[in-house]
């Protein structure tokens, strides 16, 4: 039985191609404008077709959920990282960093709730730069009480690299398809 993943409600536009993809060999009157976007909660890369006459801007938050959509005609589907334009790829890290900062409590909860994946591997070790030593420090510190912020994690777990950077690097690696285990990106 497969668990139904919650669908993205909102996306952040990474790039808007008013005349469609340059690699599309069809005549220009047959091309549709296309937006490449990143889901706000699941970090899903999506290709959107805007409604006629709508021009989307990079960094613009757009509603794509069920019901009436103001700017998006339809979602073409998921995108692979390789299909992102160079503009979209360059904006991706900044947008992920911004989303992580806005959803701080969600990611701090990861430090509070992370569990072992197997007898040899822990979810915390999936973060780049976190090995057994850091993992045990985090586990010992959370016994004293839950972490309340990224700053709290930094203060209580000495020598741990910046938690925001760890989360951002992990999300980018998952989006790139470089990771087997997915914790944040779907």
Q: Does pLDDT of 2 surpass 80? A: no
Q: What are phi and psi of 48, to 5 degrees?
A: -120, 150
**CA separation for the pair 127, 140 (Å, rounded):** 17
Q: Is 104 left (phi over 0), alpha (psi -120 to 50) or beta?
A: alpha
**CA separation for the pair 182, 170 (Å, rounded):** 9
Instruction: Find the mean pLDDT for residues 104-125.
Output: 94
pLDDT reported for residue 5? 56
Give domain status of residue 1, yes or no: no
Q: What are phi and psi of 87, to 5 degrees?
A: -65, -50
Q: What are phi and psi of 80, to 5 degrees?
A: -85, 150
Of 85, 111, 132, the residue that ends a domain is 85
CATH classification of the domain holding 156:
1.10.150.280
Give domain status of residue 97, yes or no: no
66 and 130, same domain (yes or no): no
- Longest Cα–Cα distance in the chain: 64
Residue pair 31/24 in contact (Cβ under 8 Å)? The answer is yes
Hey, what are 56's tokens? 């989307």
Say how many domains are in the chain.
Answer: 2
- Return the closest-CA partner of residue 168 out of 113, 92, 117: 92
What digits encode the pLDDT tens for the residues 121-175? Answer: 999 999 998 999 999 999 999 999 999 999 999 999 988 889 999 999 999 999 9
pLDDT reported for residue 3? 43
State the angle between helix axes of 104-113 and 163-175 in degrees (0 to 180), rounded to the nearest 10: 90
**CA separation for the pair 73, 75 (Å, rounded):** 7
Q: Does pLDDT of 4 surpass 50? A: no
pLDDT greater at residue 32 or residue 169: 169
First and final C-alpha spacing in the chain: 18
CATH classification of the domain holding 41:
2.40.50.140
Q: What is the dihedral of CA 105, 58, 80, 168, to 10 degrees?
A: -30
Element containing residue 73 per DSSP (H, E): strand 72-78
Host domain of residue 41 = 10-85
User: What is the rounded average pLDDT for all residues in the chain?
Assistant: 91
pLDDT reported for residue 13? 97
Give domain status of residue 136, yes or no: yes
pLDDT reported for residue 1? 40
Q: Does pLDDT of 61 surpass 90? A: yes
Among 38-42, 143-147, 174-178, where is mean pLDDT lowest? 174-178
């Amino acid at each position: 039985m497969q668990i139904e993943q919650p669908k993205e409600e909102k996306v952040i536009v990474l790039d808007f191609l008013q005349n469609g993809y340059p690699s599309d060999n069809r005549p220009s009157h047959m091309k549709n404008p296309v937006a490449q976007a990143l889901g706000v909660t699941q970090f899903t890369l999506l290709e959107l077709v805007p409604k006629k006459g709508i021009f989307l801007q990079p960094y613009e938050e757009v509603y794509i959920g069920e019901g009436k959509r103001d700017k998006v005609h339809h979602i073409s589907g998921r995108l692979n990282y390789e299909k992102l334009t160079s503009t979209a790829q360059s904006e991706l890290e900044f947008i992920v960093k911004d989303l992580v900062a806005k959803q701080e409590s969600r990611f701090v909860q990861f430090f509070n709730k992370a569990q072992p994946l197997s007898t040899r591997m822990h979810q915390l070790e999936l973060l780049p730069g976190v090995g057994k030593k850091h993992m045990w420090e985090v586990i010992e510190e959370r016994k004293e009480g839950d972490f309340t912020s990224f700053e709290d994690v930094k203060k209580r777990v000495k020598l741990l690299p910046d938690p925001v950077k760890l989360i951002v690097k992990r999300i980018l690696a998952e989006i790139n398809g470089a990771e087997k285990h997915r914790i944040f990106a779907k």
